A and B are shown apart, each in its own frame.
Chain A
Amino acid sequence: MVKKLFIDFYKCVGCCVCEIVCSLTHEGVVSPVLSRIRVVSYEWGRVPTTCLHCGRAPCVEVCPTKALYVDEDGAVMLVEEACVGCMVCALACPFGVPQFNPLSNTMLKCDLCADRRQRGEEPACVKYCPTNAIVFGDIDEVMEHARVERFAGRFVRALRREARVAGV
């Protein structure tokens, strides 16, 4: 199964640490606009948005220079040398994820930290997220975990509380 990034919006506190470590990892600087994961605000909610590495990625299909491809881990990758910065991928993306990088005149998108993956490490945003709101894994694993935490965990805790109140 393909490993991807999943964001738990219940846990995220909008601290932007993912933006900091992403831009540090890829560019060696701290700059939210150069981060591949972007924390966006909607009213008082702040949540990270990033490439979802779609199974049938529209960006890959529309890219006129074949600068985008899917690697062996299922990550949608960008070959910067081939990218002409036409932004068609951003228009095609259902979530508007790819960004334009004014420094290089090419696009900017998440590569699931290719260098870190090669070393057997998880992506930087996952590693550094203080509330573990960003997880890296295959969907079954992640959802199993969520089911345990959100469903069973809540249920068991509630039962225990009831038992305590009843003096059981």
Chain B
Amino acid sequence: MLNCGYVGNMLFVNLSTGDIKVEPTEKYAKDYIGGRGVATRILYEYPDALIFMSGPLTSLVPSGSRMDVVAVSPVTGLIGGSSVGGEFPSVLKFAGYDGVVVMGKSEKPVYLIIDNGNASVENAEDLWGLNVFETIDTLTNRHPGSIVACVGRAGERGVKFAGIAFSYRNLASRGGLGAVMGSKNLKAVVVRGKGRVTPNDPLKLMAVFEEIHECVVRSGEYARFKDWHVNFMPTILKLRMPYFGDYEPYWEDAWEAAIKAREFMEKHTIGRASCFSCPLRCWAIVSYGGEALPMNLCQGTLPAIMYVLKVRDPELAWKIYRKCQSEGLDIMSAAAVIAYASRLGLVELGTEQILETIEKIISRESEGEILAEGVKRASEHFSVPAIYVKGGLESWSSDLRLFVGSALISAVADSGSVNRALYAFPEFYYYIKRDQAERVAKKLVNDAEAARPQTYTESKVRLAVLWENLHIIADSLGVCIIALLTAPLRLWAEVYEAATGMRIGEDGLMRVAERIRTLERLFNIRYGMVKDELPPRLFEGKPRLDKDKLEKMKKTYYSLRGWDENGVPKEETIIKLGLSNLVRS
């Protein structure tokens, strides 16, 4: 019986019929751990569902603050997933559920409240039309002590890059999941919980907790995050090669913008904060314009705005950030879409016009109607080629042409692109920490070449597969990938055992990751086969990717996954991974 680590129950809500039922987590958790794995498995059974799923380590370990949100992405038509932290995932467990599966569609706007085990669907007509901040404030006033996940106007109106906000700061942003929630007429999920999560062996858990904790606070990440709010803009410029405007490799004012942003952050940051259970403190509390707001110091927030939208003025960038965040927009995608619109002459980058364009997208006025559909559909409409990744998802904010590993994953990934597979991939820090990147690559795949951003080696594919597996493990355990990478996998296997009482081992975790990855592929083959392709613009001009060499890497990737040369999982792989019953049903 699975009553350790997990709370044991999952909530299934059908908004069409109003039915609410409870299923044991055990049914899915045994073979798929939790989080991303269980959510993928459930989506395979109920493809119209929107699934919020925590992991067995959520709230039990350092950085165990996360849950995975999975649904069919309206942008790509493929499985879409996003990992989210903050307090919501832990509080959901304290409220008595490991996960929530929302099926069907309500006729009228509603919200779901889960209060210490009791769940009910309430009328949300008065909330419809409110932005994220207003919704959170209204609902936390109505239900004191609760945590709110909601969509803003962007999600309500089906903007294809709307995310689901889990607080003023945390957003399950990528893949357009907010549009899924909006299409179900589900405005918010409110949780309040005073329960507990019971580990199998508390003493063992505390012992491993201490070991993991030591790894985290001794890591480069922990040291770097100390002044990260000041340094992140210049560092990302040097390290990650962001693209500028509509995928230009160079912007003469980039360094100036970075330095101005550094000054802005130094002046306006009044504090630092973390998600529940996380030592890493990756949020900055920024006080600006008479208001304090938390911000995630990530490439997809201020850097995406300043570099992609060529905003020199950090105060304008902050206004754009606030606008996107309060409306629940994925900033990475929104920036890509607006940069594309600038190519069409619809907006001038670096100016206040950006704010107007965002408003047009959210309200779907004039050209906003097209832009709200995402960059791929817009490019089809305007017949001007755009850059996107597999299925039409907007590119990650680094220039894919400069990072071959990320280009590979952007072509083959099944549940969102680089964000779901390659955090801290050695090639991403090669430009400032070459020795370390080469050492990691040498250790893991016995080839330092794999760390070099511009090589097309077989070893790099092996490294990418390994990295993707680690992300799947983190997303399934309910742990933040940043922390997971700081401690050896052995410790995570040990802490899983201490929490759940089930022995798994490193190999076991890897095997489950393989199973989940192949199931994601099987889902996409069954429901929305899209070719593993990148748009032609990435292979033209300068810099560019080498198409033939990338094709060869793709084939290597397929064979490492046990798939045939068209990327279809082989029969023997399906049997080996124990997926045959599921696939045949």
Residues on A close to B: CB < 8 A?
A: 13-17, 20-21, 23-25, 27-34, 43-46, 124, 127-128, 130-131
Contacts and interface: CB of A to CB of B under 8 A. Distances in A.
Given A34-B196, A128-B210, A130-B213, A15 B278 contact: yes
A146 B285 CA distance: 24
Interface residues of B, number: 34
Interface string B271-301: 1111111110100010000001110000000
A14 B209 contact: no
Contacts of B285: 44
Contact of B217 (A16, A23, A32, A130): A130
Contact of A29 (B62, B202, B270, B279): B202
A33 to B, nearest CB: 5
Nearest to A130: B279
Contacts of A124: 206
A17 B213 CA distance: 10
A128 B294 CA distance: 25
Contact of A32 (B60, B94, B273, B279): B94
A10 to B, nearest CB: 9
Interface string B371-400: 000000000000000000000000000000
B199 A24 contact: yes
B275 A15 contact: yes
Nearest to B60: A30
Given A16-B276, A24-B209, 6 more contacts: A17-B277, A29-B199, A43-B292, A44-B271, A44-B293, A46-B273
B202 A31 contact: no
Contacts of A17: 62, 213, 277, 279
B321 to A, nearest CB: 16
A16 B86 CA distance: 11
A13 B60 contact: no
19 contacts: A13-B281, A15-B278, A15-B281, A16-B277, A17-B279, A20-B60, A24-B206, A24-B209, A28-B199, A30-B60, A30-B197, A30-B199, A33-B196, A43-B292, A128-B210, A130-B216, A130-B222, A131-B279, A131-B281
A149 to B, nearest CB: 15
Please give me the 9 A-B residue pairs with the lowest Cβ-Cβ distance, nearest first: A130-B279, A31-B196, A15-B274, A28-B202, A13-B281, A29-B196, A33-B194, A30-B197, A13-B274
Interface string B201-232: 01001100110010011000010000000000
A143 to B, nearest CB: 23
B294 A29 contact: no
A31 B273 contact: no
A11 to B, nearest CB: 10
Given A27-B196, A32-B94, A14 B274 contact: yes
B83 interface: no
A130 B273 contact: no
B73 interface: no
Contacts of B271: 44-45
Most buried by B among A15, A27, A30: A30
A33 B196 CA distance: 8
A31 B277 contact: no
A40 to B, nearest CB: 11
Contacts of B210: 127-128
B436 interface: no
Nearest to B270: A44
B235 interface: no
Given A29-B202, A130-B213, A15 B279 contact: yes
Given A15-B277, A45-B271, A46-B273, A29 B197 contact: yes
Nearest to A20: B277
Given A29-B196, A34-B196, A128 B94 contact: no
Contacts of A128: 209-210, 213
Contacts of B277: 15-17, 20
B285 to A, nearest CB: 5
Nearest to B195: A31
A15 to B, nearest CB: 4
A24 B279 contact: no
A93 B529 CA distance: 64
